[in-house]
Amino acid sequence: MIYTLPPLPYASDALEPRMSKETIEYHYGKHLQTYIDNLNNLIPGTIYENMELDEIVMTAEGPIFNNAAQVMNHMFFFNTLSPKRKNIPQELKEHLVRDFGSIETFKEQFKQAAVSLFGSGWVWLAQDSGGKLHIIPESNAGNPMRDGYKPLMVIDVWEHAYYIDYRNRRAAFVDICWDLTDWEVVLIRMLQPPVDRITQTVLIGQTTREGLTDAITDAIMEDEKDMRSYVCVTCGWIYDPAEGDPENGVPAGTPFNELPDDWTCPACGVGKEYFEPAAR
């Protein structure tokens, strides 16, 4: 399998000024690209050649593990960030309070782990098979899925992640990562099956609301207006909140989750439950 640089889910300047375009261009465009190139050079002719990325990360050692895990970890990291400030959804908050005592304690412990990790590595929020949340520092390319944990969120504490914007100030970088973390995405990952039954898509950090109950979707959306477009999975018609559906009495600017319960797809007539967020 030939790996390629996946599309970044936001523009390279979308996280400015907290994370500069230059940082994204180096970190995403050059560092991640190098790990991808290395992996593509290392796997031909080995048993890893036709494996999915998560299988390689779970089973390889040495340079193949290092490069495969760095590819996965970076995709996960960049898919965890969002230019839109996202509050911690209530259901995630409850789990964090249950397992760390309070949100403040969780943040303090996470920051402490990130600042004190010696050398290069990653600090993860991960969930064990019993559902409990843990802060797990990993050196170099480490990923806690190797130990059966499901990754939920991560901060890259390799110096290349922050040196352009923050020089040696890792703590300042950790603080901005808090602000850039998409906590809805973290919650969606938490609601997915344990790591042994999870899909490759989730492990590389992408998330989908597919299969989530309405109650969970509502919980995710309760803190803000959801201005994403939604696509009808039956016919492909796209609901764009900026346009609304004026012919059917829905004014422009109406978020998808505020559409009336009896609203149906204007093209094929199916209900709202047949819509899912359009690709970012």
Binding-site ranges for Mn ion (CB under 5 A): 156, 158, 161
Question: Can you read off the two tokens belonging to residue 272?
Answer: 């709202």
Q: How many residues does the chain have?
A: 280
- The residue sitting closest to Mn ion, measured at its beta carbon, is 156
Cβ 220 to Mn ion shortest distance, Å = 27
Residue number, 75 or 250, with CB nearest to Mn ion: 75
Closest CB 12 distance from Mn ion, rounded Å: 15
**CB of 148 within 8 A of CB of 129?**
yes
**Nearest distance from C-beta of residue 120 to Mn ion, angstroms:** 8
CA dist., res. 202 & res. 222, Å (int): 23
Min. distance of Cβ 69 from Mn ion in angstroms?
11
The values of phi and psi at residue 277, to 5°, are -55, 135
Whole-angstrom Cα distance, residue 20 to residue 165? 7
Distance (Å, rounded) from C-alpha 213 to C-alpha 263? Answer: 18
Torsional sign, CA 134, 117, 122, 25: positive
Q: How far is the CB of 127 from Mn ion (least distance, A)?
A: 23
Residues in CB range of 85: below 8 A, 6 or more apart? 179
E strand or H helix at 125: strand 121-127
The residue (of 51 and 161) whose beta carbon lies closer to Mn ion is 161
Shortest Å, Cβ 175 to Mn ion: 17
Distances (CA, A) of 62 to 56, 121, 171, 175: 11, 16, 30, 32
The nearer residue to Mn ion, 156 or 165, going by C-beta atoms, is 156
Strand arrangement of the beta sheet that strand 121-127 belongs to = 133-139, 121-127, 150-156
- Given the complex with Mn ion, which of 92 and 161 has the nearer CB atom? 161
CA distance 151 to 57: 13
CB nearer Mn ion, residue 82 or residue 254 = 82
Of 35 and 256, the one with the shorter C-beta distance to Mn ion is 35
Judged by CB, which is closer to Mn ion: 24, or 220? 24
Q: How far is the CB of 157 from Mn ion (least distance, A)?
A: 9
Count CB atoms within 10 A of the CB of residue 151.
28
